[in-house]
A = this chain, B = another copy of it.
Amino acid sequence: MSRPIGVFDSGVGGLTVLKALRRRLPNHDFVYFSDTARVPYGRKPKEMVRQFAAEIAFFLLQLDVSSIVIACNTASASALPDLANHISVPVWGVIDPGVEAARRATKTNKVGVIGTKGTIASGVYQRKLEAVGLSVWSQACPMFVHVVEEGLAESEDALVLARHYLSGMPDIDTLILGCTHYPVLAPVIEQVTGSGVVLVSSADVTAEVVAGALSHESPSGPGRLTHYVTGGVPAYQHTAEVIGGVEGRVIPLDVTRLADAGVIAGKDTATR
């Protein structure tokens, strides 16, 4: 029996990554962890996000996952190197794939990246993009996550915010959607940037990377999907509708006990 792949996000945005993964790995089992009790991560202190990520990774390891995908840019930016050093299964984030996708897409070597406050403030996209020779414009768009979760991705509210956030955008040919919620906003963002700017979502490239690394496995399938959610099941299912809903079992989880697990994880059981 094959071990499941663990995927986690602060909320429902990571479902865009999960969907891309399941398209490429239809026979694999997946566990999707959604920390809706503590969403959003975007403005929380880096140390707090890192603690949450450690707790969730520890929980996923208890489920015997074969690998972990951090399907959240904020958590990838804050926690990835640390997690990868402390646990024994492979850990992927969404940032390196996004950088790779932008590098492939740009012709002028002038790119932009938009994301949460935490992601943009970390400077990780900017550093990695500059390291491959690109010049970078970046902009935090803290309200975009909420526009999506409110089901307003196609509204006038979204357009007003997109115009505001992108008003200072220089002449670039590629824009990284540096938050897993943002693909839902692509039509509105395109209305502002015009068709001359390629929008890059890391979901597909992340799936490509993970699928490549797991190509030696061939589970018999069909892959099963289980969701664990900290903020209550009906509330999760309702919010997930904005990304196209959820399939599979949804299991509620006590965020308080998760924090206990995190304390244990901080001691010695996170490495296994």
Q: Contact: B238 with A48, CB < 8 Å?
A: yes
Return A113 CB to nearest CB of chain B, in Å.
Answer: 18
Q: How many copies does the complex hold?
A: 2
Which residues of A in the span 225-272 have a Cβ within 8 Å of any Cβ on B? Answer: 230-232, 234-235, 238, 252-257, 259
Q: A150-B43, A255-B252, A256-B253 are in contact. Are A37 and B232 (CB under 8 A)?
A: yes
Complex Cα–Cα for A96 and B37 (A): 31
Q: A152-B143, A231-B37, A252-B256 are in contact. Are A44 and B238 (CB under 8 A)?
A: yes
Q: A48-B234, A231-B231, A253-B256 are in contact. Are A142 and B157 (CB under 8 A)?
A: yes
B-chain residues with CB within 8 Å of residue A253 when the two chains form the complex: 256
| Chain A interface category by residue count | 35 or more
Q: Is A161 an interface residue (CB 8 A)?
A: yes
Q: Is A194 an interface residue (CB 8 A)?
A: no
B-chain residues with CB within 8 Å of residue A164 when the two chains form the complex: 156-157, 160
Q: Is A146 an interface residue (CB 8 A)?
A: yes
> 4 tightest A-B contacts by CB?
A146-B146, A37-B37, A254-B254, A37-B231
